């Protein structure tokens, strides 16, 4: 079966430079380069003034200070206009008592959304799906997660992944399923037979030569 141009979606790649952008936002013009030296959580939503998106934005706002404490900024995006974004942010504050203090990209041209693979023709031709990208201080894409339009994200999970990525970078380790700060981490497995023979006597908590944990 041939794939039409409309059905073809270009996706960014993990551990490669995140697609550069410059865009109008509710906090003025923003570029990817503005976040150099800090982590960035870039996330898209299908549309302003929709119930699921409203719950997500309130959750991001609730955890905003925690992201900032980890050296990470939040940046939202949808295909809606700047004026729609402003009206929606004001509505959330008025109706729910929650202030959205992070910027939201106006992407009427869909240029940013397309460069990040946020437009999925199978879901909608002119709305961004729920995509989340974690970009490191060097502008490298480190994680990305896509959700369907019908289901909201769990914002604490992105905070958890951010902390796990930072721990891996700092200590050269991996983290197990559901890892939280304070839990044991996984030591990278040995790369040759000599190292494998020595592994069990290196002071780690080992189940076998390839599966060892330690505390940070």
> What positions carry a catalytic annotation?
53
The position carrying tokens 């290196």 is 202
User: How far, in Å, CA of 184 to CA of 182, rounded?
Assistant: 7
Pairing of strands 205-208, 22-25: unpaired
User: How far, in Å, CA of 211 to CA of 204, rounded?
Assistant: 10
**Assigned token pair, 194:** 């000599």
Residues 211, 145, 152, 88, CA torsion sign? positive
CB 127 within 8 A of CB 27: no
The neighbouring-strand residues paired with 130 are 147
């Amino acid at each position: 079966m041939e794939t039409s141009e409309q059905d073809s979606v270009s996706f960014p790649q993990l551990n490669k430079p995140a697609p550069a952008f410059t865009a109008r936002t509710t906090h003025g013009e923003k570029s990817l380069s503005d976040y150099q030296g800090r982590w960035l959580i870039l996330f898209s939503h299908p549309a302003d003034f929709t119930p699921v998106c409203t719950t997500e934005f309130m959750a991001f706002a609730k955890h905003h200070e925690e992201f900032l404490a980890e050296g990470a900024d939040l940046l939202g995006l949808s295909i809606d206009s700047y004026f729609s974004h402003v009206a929606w942010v004001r509505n959330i504050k008025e109706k729910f008592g929650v202030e959205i203090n992070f910027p939201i990209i106006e992407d009427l041209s869909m240029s940013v959304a397309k460069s990040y693979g946020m437009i999925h023709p199978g879901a909608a031709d002119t709305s961004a799906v729920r995509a989340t990208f974690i970009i490191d201080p060097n502008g490298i894409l480190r994680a990305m997660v896509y959700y369907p339009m019908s289901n909201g994200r769990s914002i604490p999970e992105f905070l958890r992944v951010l902390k796990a990525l930072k721990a891996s970078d700092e200590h050269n380790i991996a983290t197990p399923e559901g890892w939280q700060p304070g839990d044991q981490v996984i030591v990278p497995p040995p790369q040759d037979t000599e190292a494998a023979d020595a592994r069990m006597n290196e002071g780690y908590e080992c189940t076998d030569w390839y599966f060892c944990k330690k505390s940070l």
